[in-house]
A and B are shown apart, each in its own frame.
Chain A
Amino acid sequence: MEKSFANLTITNHGIDRRGFLKGVGATGALLLTANWSWSQEQQKKYGGEGMPGGTKNDPKLFIAISQDGTVYITCARSEMGQGIRTSLALVVADEMEADWEKCRVVQAEGDEERYGNQNTDGSRSMRHWYEPMRQCGAVARAMLEQAASRGWGVDHEDVRATKHSVVFPRGRRRAGFGELAEAVARLPVPMGSAIRLKRSNEFRYIGKEQTLSADGEDIVSGKATYGADLRSVGMVYAVVSRPPVFGSKATSYDADAAMNVKGVIKVMEIEGTVVPSEFKPLGGIAVVAENTWAAMKGREALKVEWSDSPNDQYESQHYRRQMEEVAKKRGKEIRAHGDLEEAFAKAKKKHAATYYLPHVAHAPMEPPAATALLKDDFLEVWAPTQAPQAARTHAAERAGLPLEKTRVNVTLLGGGFGRKSKADFINEAVEVAKAFPGKAARVQWTREDDLRHDYLHTVSIEHLEASLSSRGKVTGWLHRSVAPTIMSIFAPDQRNQAAFESNMGHGNVPFAIPNLRIENPGIDAHTRIGWFRSVSNIPHGFAAQSFVSELAEEAGKDHLRFYLDLLGEDREIDPRSMNDGWNHGENPETYPVDTGRLRKVIETAAKEAGWGKRMRKRRGLGLAAHYSFVSYVATVLDVEVKKGGELVIHKATMAIDCGPQINPDRIRSQMEGSCIMGIGLATTGEISFDKGAPKQSNFHDYQVPRIPQAPKEIAVHLVDPGKEVELGGVGEPGLPPVAPALCNAIHAATGKRIRSLPIGEQLT
């Protein structure tokens, strides 16, 4: 284990945790050691406690203090740009009164038994870990105070920790955290009693405006370590030729030409997977070489024959027509109340619209890459993974080793967006490592690999119908969503959306409509479907928010007024009353859907954007607001469509209520990023299939926003809920309202409705 590490040149101090702990230990670090537990009687099955591994608040796991005063804070969640390494660490630092300048963040390896849940998705990290991390820091603070008071022979009550020191004001005494490290290490951890959390007016970092980053300087100087940045003497590099169509396998291959490429060492088969694929590799032929370039050249020279696949006929236009047909008939009922047929029959006016959203690829800037080393019956992996424990379980199984002989080190992720929840690329690295015992083996995906073998965001047809009363009130609402489900990667014959998909803005629309039916007709998947940032909220939110705008027009009303009317009176809706028993995994008692909070973000965004003001010709404001990941976001875009169709986004105004705001700057940055990503998926984002394979291969034909497409200004408003509420998500909820706000703005500017994404050439 230690030997395997010695063989590697680790370029990031954050990764070598073992070495670091040893070093710290040698200088007499504090590792809080007792088995301290926080209010164990409060057993919850929701939130963090409802996740595999639960949460941990034991300071010995997360905090170490060295005699030089450096405080090491362990982050067990993966960093992919959301800033969680910074945000969670500053929560700990604040509660323990540590000076952020003297804190270092250490990344935990994948071990949920030890660290609690590490699956970094669902916009959950801060929501589930804020309280445990506060408790951790508060216990450490109490212990530092105790160590100092004992040393001075004074009452614990008379001393207090403040900015990296403990002070005894009356005696004018002061001891730095470093000086206390040894004494505090000998103290027992106080067992659950009388640990005082700070009051909010005592916060130093929590909720404050700042741009602190644990990784900023390393990132801009090239020192930060991502999935492909680990180096080792004798390391081998592989790329894999994978089946062009999902479900196909290599039937034969000719390795000769590949082996003739200078630097190629080996050509080997990686066993193909059977459908459902889960997170197993797609299989194929790996070309292993002395460097990445040689491996890529070797793969170009390789000849592989592929078998037929049941998905050979997957073609996007045909599939779209198939979905449209399916959407004409009734499907699985997700939620219903009132009498929709009667409402439609009596209606003064009826309106229907059908929307199409294509597959999109995550395309994180860092294509998947992982390194594995199998040595002396121990497997070590370095990978940019959102799911370290799942990666570890997979890697161990593949290497035929027990979990305790498998270690997954989590590097920084060069973007994740859901793609790196899947361990398929890590499994490939383990397969290559098995063929090269004692050597580190890297599998590098190219951009072409990434776009052709993604777990794509679903493709969907969203069909809506509504009835309007003579006064322009919505009396009936039908929403049929047809989309291949993520469940199809886990089990055969999965044709309907799971609860975690339909309750993303489809079943759980919080509108005050007397007659409503939400349906999901089934359809088969023909490629790997996966989570993409904000998941099914994208199609559901796009359709519902576009349709509300259409209905406002049909009713002859202002979109803003019409939407607020549709929400009805401010109320807290129990998600179970909307047939949503999932509720993002949160307690329905403490996480109702609060229409008052949704109204407030809508009013904020509208006001800040100058809703109702006179707009120049060919310019318009578009609104959308969506509840997801137990947060509320409204977006207003100010766009201009020039003659010839050029789209200019002058300003984006976003308002979010995510409950308590822990690191406001990172909330803002997530909104900014969501805005850009939303503009991308609305304007150009599309992966389409022909003969079973994606047609797009790189950034020339899968275009993502570049700096000229970015709005001239993105104004983010953090809305105070105005009452005591629980924490909401931040990483994902900014995305769903962007595309519908954009298309509603285009309608306001030009009168043209966009019902099919991407917008592409539709404006020319």
Chain B
Amino acid sequence: MRTIRLNGEEHRLDTPDDMPLLWAIRDILGFTGTKFGCGMGLCGACTMHMDGQPIRSCVTPINATEGREITTIEAISKDSVGEKVQQAWVKLGVPQCGYCQCGQVMSATALLSRKSSPKDSEIDEAMSGNICRCGTYSRIRKAIHTASADLKGGT
């Protein structure tokens, strides 16, 4: 048995050391907001935060999370930045099919947490690991600017 700290709570689970965090959280713990897209860290659908940093959970073995704080989409609204990102996403109608959007929200939240007013080029760099096959990129850029403005406005 091992313990992981997920969304502020400790969970006990029995998995092999090399099981990717994604599958441990989806299949064993039952939090399905984080999505599987490629299994190689190429698409970003599985993005979670480990100690506030975005990680690709499909290639992060669970034994690398010991003593770390994992945050998933299920808890990101408790983060003031995450909440604003989610609101901007809904307001601007970013999602189409929505499958990649939890990963997009996690990456955007991480970006705005370290840089409150990113330029388009910085957005492109930070978000380039997250594929959206529906092609919502232009709205993602706008939504990040909107969330950034909302955060500054303190609304």
Contacts and interface: CB of A to CB of B under 8 A. Distances in A.
Interface of A: 9, 11, 79-83, 211, 213, 215-217, 219-226, 228-229, 231, 237, 262, 291-293, 296, 363-367, 412-417, 444, 446-448, 665-666, 669, 672-677, 698-700, 704-708, 710-714
B41 to A, nearest CB: 10
Contacts of A672: 135-136, 138-139
A704 B98 contact: no
B74 A221 contact: yes
Contact of A366 (B19, B99, B132, B136): B99
Nearest to A652: B138
Contacts of B130: 706-707
A707 B101 contact: no
Given A365-B37, A710-B137, 15 more contacts: A80-B97, A82-B96, A211-B93, A220-B89, A292-B27, A365-B132, A365-B134, A366-B35, A414-B35, A669-B136, A669-B139, A672-B135, A706-B130, A711-B138, A714-B138
B27 A237 contact: yes
A211 B91 contact: yes
A728 to B, nearest CB: 19
B135 A699 contact: no
Nearest to A670: B96
B149 interface: no
Contacts of B24: 293
B90 interface: yes
B64 interface: no
A83 B90 CA distance: 13
A653 to B, nearest CB: 13
B27 A412 contact: no
B42 interface: yes
Contacts of B124: 707-708
Contacts of A220: 73, 86, 89-90, 94-95, 98, 101-102, 105
Contact of A222 (B33, B94, B140): B33
Contacts of A675: 135
A712 B97 contact: no
Contact of A413 (B16, B90, B97): B97
Nearest to B45: A365
Given A364-B133, A706-B131, A713-B138, A414 B42 contact: no
Contacts, number: 188
Contact of A447 (B38, B74, B86, B139): B38
A420 B143 CA distance: 29
Of the four ranges (under 10, 10 to 19, 20 to 34, 35 or more), the interface on chain B belongs to 35 or more
B86 A673 contact: no
B30 interface: yes
A446 B45 CA distance: 13
Contacts of A699: 38, 40, 42-43, 131
Contact of A216 (B95, B134, B140): B95
A677 B96 CA distance: 13
Interface majority SS (helix, strand, loop, mixed), chain A: loop
B123 interface: yes
Contact of A217 (B23, B90, B97): B90
Contacts of A82: 96
B72 interface: yes
B32 interface: yes
B30 A365 contact: no
Contact of A665 (B39, B72, B93, B138): B93
Contacts of A707: 123-124, 127-128, 130, 132, 137, 140-141
Given A291-B27, A698-B42, A219 B101 contact: yes
Nearest to A445: B36
A216 B128 CA distance: 22
Contacts of A293: 16, 19-20, 23-24, 27
B99 A415 contact: yes
A224 B137 CA distance: 21
A449 B105 CA distance: 27
B135 A705 contact: yes
Contacts of B40: 447, 698-700
Contacts of B105: 220
A556 B55 CA distance: 55
Contacts of A705: 135, 137
A228 B134 CA distance: 19
Contacts of A704: 131, 133
Interface string B39-81: 1101101000000000000000000000000001110110000
A216 B90 contact: yes
A226 B35 contact: yes
Contacts of B73: 220-222
Contact of B135 (A219, A226, A677): A677
A713 B139 CA distance: 10
A699 B100 CA distance: 14
Contacts of A413: 97
Contact of B28 (A211, A291, A416, A674): A291
Contacts of B38: 447, 698-699
Contacts of B31: 222
Interface string B5-30: 00000000000100110011011101
Nearest to A711: B138
A226 B77 contact: no
Nearest to A86: B93
